[in-house]
Structure 1
Amino acid sequence: MTTNDTFDLSSYYDGRLPGRQLRGLMLSDGGHGSRKEGVCATEAIAWLAGEAHSDHPACLCPSLGSFLRDWNDSLPDEDRTLLIRPLLVPAMLATVSPKASERRAWMALDWLVREHMVAWLRLAKLDDHADAFVAMPEIVSVSTLDVSKIDAAWDAAGDAAADAAGDAAGAVARAAAWSAEAAARAAAGDAAWAAARDAAGDAAGAAARDAARDAAGAVARAVARAAARAAAWDAARAAARDAARAVAGAAAWAAAGAAAGAAARAVARA
């Protein structure tokens, strides 16, 4: 599906796409050589910002960009535009901030561990592990992250998947295992960033910021892939759609938080 199957947006190819024309934009998977071929979510952001055609717009936070690219390419056509287009708001066009990128990374990891993974652990009847994550405080730093619990849940979900291979229960258990694996990898990325930050110290702030951006991107990719894998399982389709919508809310909250602070947090609590 290309950008212009329904609306003719060709007059805007060489400039900025006005926000009022966003309703006519259909998002496509993958990268594109030109806007005539179509646009993915991040290419659309570059277009809305008046930047040259690119899926890595300069105005977009790297962690949000990683999240959107992976999620865009993982969603089916019928869901992609429906779920992502509402997030392409003006606040998304000015989200570059190393400090905010770090916060978004922890926010994504917190959602992945304490909401997404919990939902799949419960579906797989691994309630003891789910309860352990529900009881955890919000993950905002290395000190609030218990990697051993994530590893234990990963092992338990893997065992459950092996025991129930081939049926619906096995599909759910595999989804739980993948969610735990994504959380474990994301946690490792954050730990690596924390180590880089500590090693860098005040004299090497630039290196620490680079490490933060890399870790944030890893977390964002892990969250997006986990949500996409969840959505693939017909055995728990409704729960997966709820998870995908939760991701959308988290991304919208993160993007608005960079531009509106307290107002965005109030929206997220509502």
Structure 2
Amino acid sequence: MALKWILALAASATALPTIATISSRASTPASNHCGAPDSSVIVSGTPWIVYSMNYNYQDIDGTCCTGFAGLVTGADGEQKCAWDSTWDIAKVDSTSNVPKGYSFVGLTQNLENTISDIASIPATYNWVRSNETAYKGNVCFDFMTSDTKGDSTSSSAQELMLWLRYEGGQLPIGWADGAVATIQLYGKTWKLYQGVNTDTGITVSSLLVDQADQYYGYFAGDIKDWLLAMVKQGLFTSSTYVNVGNAGMEPFYGTVSFKNKLGLKINLA
């Protein structure tokens, strides 16, 4: 996903952890975003924007919503964004392989810095899924880099996806060509798939673990380790810019809800 408009919008304005109750200190009220292709809320006092990007909304037979619930404090003492993604999308044969959009929380701070200027990108992602039907979609991190500061739309940009969980037969771009590399990361074995998104002209590099080794509701790690692994693979150098960063779900079809708590920030060196 080419998410350059997120940056412009932002400028304008082991065991599961236990989570505290919703913080009353949050000054941004809870909200729900459905239908329209680009509906969002910037969460004040945080590095986050909650975004409903139903870019193929015309193919949604039903509803697909993204909600901001509030702010919570995790067992690690760090602030998290509590949000949800709720789909009630009929499976239609002609559009079952079409992603209806992207439901996510994106970063608004400390972007457009080079990898070498970033000390760490600590991330925790906790999700609880409740589904009434079979569904197709994934849970992922999505970052965009470029040798040009701020570029997330040209064919020179790179889109990086880290698939934590995938269901319903969703496959990454480049799957038909086979994996181009196998790497060790976060204590797991990942396969790297690459291909060009024909809608954007941008090369997408996706990391997937085997289906039996997927994450089941919780991820914790330093996203910079992922970026450095891609440097090692020769995708770019440590002087490339990190222009976009987010985490979320890609809905295809199904009746399912995800209750999420995300901790994600960029610490500069």
Task: Indicate the structure whose relative CO is greater, using CA pairs within 8 Å and at least 6 residues apart.
Answer: 2
| Same fold at TM > 0.5 | no
Larger Rg: 1
Determine which structure has the larger helix proportion and give its number: 1
Determine which structure has the larger strand proportion and give its number: 2
